[in-house]
Structure 1
Amino acid sequence: MTNTTPQTGGLQRRLGLPFAIAVCVGTVVGTGIMRAPGEIANLVPDPTIVMLLWLAGGIYVFLMCNVAAEISSMIPRSGGHYVPVREGLGDSMGLLVGWTFWIAFVAVNAAISLAAAEFLGTIVPWIAANVKVTALAIMLTITALNWVGVEEGRWIQIASTVLKVLLLLAVVGVALAMPPGDAASEVGKVVSVNAEPIGILTVLVGLQFIIAVYDGWYTTIYFAGEDKEPGRNIPRSLFQAAVIVTLIYLVVNWALIRALDFDALRVSTLPMAAVIEAAIGERGGVFVALLATLMALGTLNGCIMSTPRILYGLAEDGLFLKSALTVNRGGTPTIALAAGTLLAIPLIFSGSYVFVFRLMGALTLFGTCVYVLSYFALRYRFPELRRPFSARGHPVLPAFILLVNVALVAGYVIADPFSGLVMMGLIAICLPIGLHLGHQRRQVAAQ
């Protein structure tokens, strides 16, 4: 292993367990939970199966946390998925995974900024007429706050996460206080929707969708090199955040299914709005719009904080420009932060973030497979290395979650062959580049 101790460079160990939990929960619990319950119910028209799928998504996260807790606490460097992949499988795979997740984060930053602006636009007409300009202003504001330093980003993340969890629980309380089905009238005219027989493919597609809504569970690993006690805090934060998120998703969906007639839930694009409007009238729409905006902003802050850490990790290993290692007094990698924001700006105004986001779907799933595979490579290559947390159920549970991810990749590629071809093309590009850079580094080390 090229580096068995943390390579933090200019990054500062300022972060602790509260931030680690908040950044995972705050990144996962975003605008997806506002729309997903209705879309999943429409896709899988059986309330029992819907709840089981949300539970299965939580189990998936726990199995992934089992792997991530070992390898990210074992190599506590900032950089996320890239770090263990590069250590276990070499420069080529590390480069591919690093670039894939960086581009995906950039596209997500553009998409979330637009989502926040669109939700605000339902309240303020001027914003509705200037969504892209507002999205740019939102992204630049969050970037500027994080530019100041890690402390500012940390407190924004903790405060926004606590607030949106409390507001979500308030919505759940309102929904549970209603007579069953009482909010269905707010959806409009509801006709019984004929449900086709639920097949295995439908269930798998629903599970794919739900796993996407759980995405972001891993965000704390991007800050491993800045945690005060990474060996202790990374495993704890991953599992505690997984418990919180799974419980939130289960209770929100249960409350919505109870408050809305299931057919009404299936045709509702914003089921929470129907519940709140049934309770307090038209003002409920304003509340839900503000809640959705807060959801987006909390997720955006976590993503904007994570994005530069990938370039920082790549630069540490000579796979990106050394200027990405520039860190200001506040502990922020400023050049890497600016690079991600600058690339997101044209995506906001061109709308091409949708294309990039879809294209990255197969690649991020592939990157997740490689990430789990690096667990086995590190176990084989460095059995003597200290592991603050050892994955439970080795090798059965890690092998099982690897097979699950491979199946998800296969399903995605079958549904979207173009993304599969692009994935193979990027692998073909990264392999020779990674081999060349590794050869150069070995020559320099020998000299």
Structure 2
Amino acid sequence: AGGMVKYTQYSHGSFLGFIAAWANWIAIVSVIPVEAVASVQYMSSWPWEWAKWTSSLVKTGTLTLPGLGIASVLLLIYFLLNYWTVSLFSKANSLITIFKIVIPGLTIGSLLFAGFHSGNFTSGEGIAPNGWASVLTAVATSGIVFAFNGFQSPINMAGEAKNPGRSIPLAVVGSILIATVIYILLQVAFIGAVDPSMVVHGWSHLNFNSPFADLAIALSINWLVIV
């Protein structure tokens, strides 16, 4: 149990184990606030008349005072979901896992069905006009590495595994591969679904506050905005 820290301690000593523990703790502590902020950010793009007030939750990419208030409430809800009994968490976690696979799948299918513009991959100076330096910067700083954080769970819970030699490698490698496939397909669907006229002058002019929700609104896929 706690392999993300213990392995480093065993292989490199207590000092580096201590550093690894702090780095891991900071990474895990940031997860719930990030999810709360992301939830409010997507709420701000709701297009319906009864939800017009949600547009005031985010201004220029930053949460306003009402937005911070709602994020704080969500923070408590997400915390309690993790804090309450193992039985509740395991049931909720299974439901959330299914939700996190089904919704991206529906998003990928809907965007591809709405229209796929293959020319977007080469128009507007291409999708990587600033070269690999910008790509690698995005991987490190734009939440891409963060999105793969779930591989830690099987390692940290390894002490509970009945057959760790088989189940842990499958869980770790499987989680990374499944996430990779989902994220690549989401990105391909997003790039292909954008109206070509919006990227004629380059991708830097594309300004979506909540990318997939805003794109769904532009394509009139209202049910996708809801989910």
The amino acid that maps onto 2:89 is G
Change (3 A) 1:203 1:99: closer
The amino acid that maps onto 2:96 is S
Change (3 A) 1:140 1:200: closer
Matches within 5 A, 1:133-144: 133-144=69-80
The amino acid that maps onto 2:212 is M
The equivalent residue for 1:172 is 108
Contact 1:82–1:97 (Cα < 8 Å) also in 2? yes
Aligned counterpart for 1:116 among listed residues 11, 36, 39: 39
Q: CA deviation at 1:206?
A: 4.2
Contact 1:174–1:279 (Cα < 8 Å) also in 2? no
Contact 1:221–1:234 (Cα < 8 Å) also in 2? yes
1:90 aligns with 2:13: yes
Change (3 A) 1:117 1:258: closer
Q: CA deviation at 1:227?
A: 3.0
The amino acid that maps onto 2:169 is P
Aligned counterpart for 2:220 among listed residues 275, 280, 287: 280
TM-score (norm 2): 0.72
Aligned counterpart for 2:137 among listed residues 205, 225, 228: 205
1:258 aligns with 2:198: no
Change (3 A) 1:176 1:117: closer
Change (3 A) 1:171 1:145: closer
1:11-63 superposed Cα distances (whole Å, 9 cap, x missing partner): xxxxxxxxxxxxxxxxxxxxxxxxxxxxxxxxxxxxxxxxxxxxxxxxxxxxx
1:154 aligns with 2:84: no
Q: Larger relative contact order (C-alpha < 8 A, sep ≥ 6)?
A: 1
SS of corresponding position for 1:216 = helix
Aligned counterpart for 1:220 among listed residues 136, 151, 154: 154
TM-score (norm 1): 0.40
The equivalent residue for 1:233 is 167
Distance 1:253 1:118 in 2: 19
Distance 1:204 1:117 in 2: 28
Contact 2:42–2:213 (Cα < 8 Å) also in 1? no
Contact 1:80–1:219 (Cα < 8 Å) also in 2? no
Aligned counterpart for 2:179 among listed residues 245, 250, 255: 245
Q: CA deviation at 1:243?
A: 2.2
Change (3 A) 1:134 1:229: farther
Contact 2:151–2:176 (Cα < 8 Å) also in 1? yes
The equivalent residue for 2:61 is none
Change (3 A) 1:80 1:113: farther
Change (3 A) 1:275 1:208: same
Contact 2:154–2:171 (Cα < 8 Å) also in 1? yes
The amino acid that maps onto 1:101 is N
Q: CA deviation at 1:84?
A: 0.7
Distance 1:114 1:278 in 2: 23
Q: Which has the larger radius of gyration?
A: 1
Contiguous gaps of at least 5 residues in structure 2: 58-64
Aligned counterpart for 1:100 among listed residues 23, 48, 64: 23
Distance 1:144 1:212 in 2: 22
Matches within 5 A, 1:5-404: 77=1, 79-123=2-46, 124=51, 125=53, 128=57, 130-181=66-117, 193=124, 198-209=130-141, 210-260=144-194, 261=196, 263=199, 266=203, 267-269=206-208, 270-280=210-220, 283=222, 287-288=224-225, 290-291=226-227
Contact 1:117–1:135 (Cα < 8 Å) also in 2? yes
Q: CA deviation at 1:222?
A: 1.9
Please report the RMSD computed on the Cα atoms of aligned residues, expressed in angstroms: 3.2
Q: CA deviation at 1:237?
A: 0.9
Contiguous gaps of at least 5 residues in structure 1: 1-76, 185-191, 292-447
Q: CA deviation at 1:105?
A: 1.9
Distance 2:129 2:43 in 1: 39
Distance 1:218 1:168 in 2: 22
